[in-house]
Amino acid sequence: MAKKIIFNQPLADLITKRFSCRSFDGRGLEPGVLTALEKFSADLELPFRNRIRFGIIDKKMVRAENLFSGGSYGMIKGVRYYLSALIRKGTPHGWEDIGFGLEALVLQATSLDLGSCWIGGVFDRKNFGRAIGIGPDEILPAVIAIGRPAEKRSWRDRLVRWSARGDLRKEAAAIFFNNNWQTPLAYADMPQWKPVLESVRLGPSASNKQPWRIIHHNGAFHFFLDRDKAYSAMMPFADLQRIDLGIAMCHFQLAAQELGFAGEWRDEEPELTGTPLNFEYIISFVIQ
């Protein structure tokens, strides 16, 4: 299994504490905080072992071209720094490793009492990329706004959160299954795994779609993507739903490690009948 990631607070507390912050205090961050985040990213081991170039973008170095440059919907206020991740175009499972790595950074930022907000849809990739030194064969799928949360959220912040249904999550029975796709995984049948699965269920996702589906079968948890093709067509610059899958993998692995469960990621697609045609197999967490 990958190197264990240890936070200064229980993972469940960090997941509950984290929210999509769009109102920051505008004061930036101390150099020591930025250094801690950079060191954390340098030590990350990713499930698919892809080489990702993590970095921190100072908005003062970005030559914004339109009001959407600062963040999604132009609604993020008072932020100066952004976490970023560059990866080579066409990298197999690069989207999942991006989601895993950036979400681990989000949780570390949360442990440092920072606010954060995923931005994967609309932002000025050209100028943000230039600020981080993007290469001709690299892409910038997403960035994370980070900073100290403002004492009071703006009305636009509250409006966006309400319209995005940011506090709602699917029921466990809709996303977790046991042995076949007709049988929801009941927490009562696997109580030791409930905290791990709850960590996944509470994870963030683009437009709060929660596109991951996990089925327990033959000693492994198999991760599938329930893709919304119409949504994917609206976001041509990044496969946000595969990034979401990486976020789910991050929460699953970190929770399993914290609870002492041994396992590893393997490409072991299960032989299941009745798998919905739109489900895409991604990876399996094999219990050891």
49-63, 159-173, 204-218: segment of lowest average pLDDT: 159-173
Look at residue 75 and tell me whether its pLDDT is greater than 90. Answer: no
- Could you tell me the pLDDT band of residue 66, with boundaries at 50, 70 and 90? very low
Where do the structural domains in the chain lie, given as residue ranges?
A: 11-162, 172-287
Give dist(CA 243, CA 91) in Å, integer.
13
Give dist(CA 267, CA 38) in Å, integer.
30
212: which 2 tokens?
A: 């991951």
Percent of the chain surpassing pLDDT 90:
74
HSE of 259, CA atoms in CB hemisphere, 13 A: 18
pLDDT at res. 8: 95
pLDDT at res. 32: 94
For 11-162, which CATH class?
A: alpha beta
- Could you tell me the pLDDT band of residue 153, with boundaries at 50, 70 and 90? low
Q: What angle do CA 37, 40, 44 make, to 5 degrees?
A: 140
79-88, 165-174, 251-260, 277-286: segment of lowest average pLDDT: 165-174
- Could you tell me the pLDDT band of residue 124, with boundaries at 50, 70 and 90? confident
Residue found by looking up tokens 């607070």 in the block:
9
Look at residue 67 and tell me whether its pLDDT is greater than 80. Answer: no
- Could you tell me the pLDDT band of residue 237, with boundaries at 50, 70 and 90? confident
Give dist(CA 246, CA 266) in Å, integer.
14
Q: What is the pLDDT of residues 244-280, one digit of tens each?
A: 999 999 999 999 999 999 999 999 999 999 999 999 9
- Could you tell me the pLDDT band of residue 70, with boundaries at 50, 70 and 90? very low
- Could you tell me the pLDDT band of residue 181, with boundaries at 50, 70 and 90? very high
- Could you tell me the pLDDT band of residue 64, with boundaries at 50, 70 and 90? low
Please list the residues that pair with 53 across neighbouring strands: 86
Mean pLDDT of the chain: 90
| Domain 11-162 shares a fold with domain 172-287 | yes
Instruction: State mean pLDDT over 112-124.
Output: 90
Which ranges constitute the DSSP H helices of the chain?
11-17, 31-42, 94-111, 125-132, 155-163, 194-201, 229-234, 240-258
pLDDT at res. 3: 80
Name the pTM for this structure. 0.92
pLDDT at res. 231: 73
Look at residue 213 and tell me whether its pLDDT is greater than 80. Answer: yes
Q: Which has the closest alpha carbon to 197: 238, 235, 142, 254? A: 254
Instruction: State mean pLDDT over 71-77.
Output: 63
What architecture (CATH level 2) is domain 172-287? Answer: 3-Layer(aba) Sandwich (3.40)
100 or 76, higher pLDDT: 100
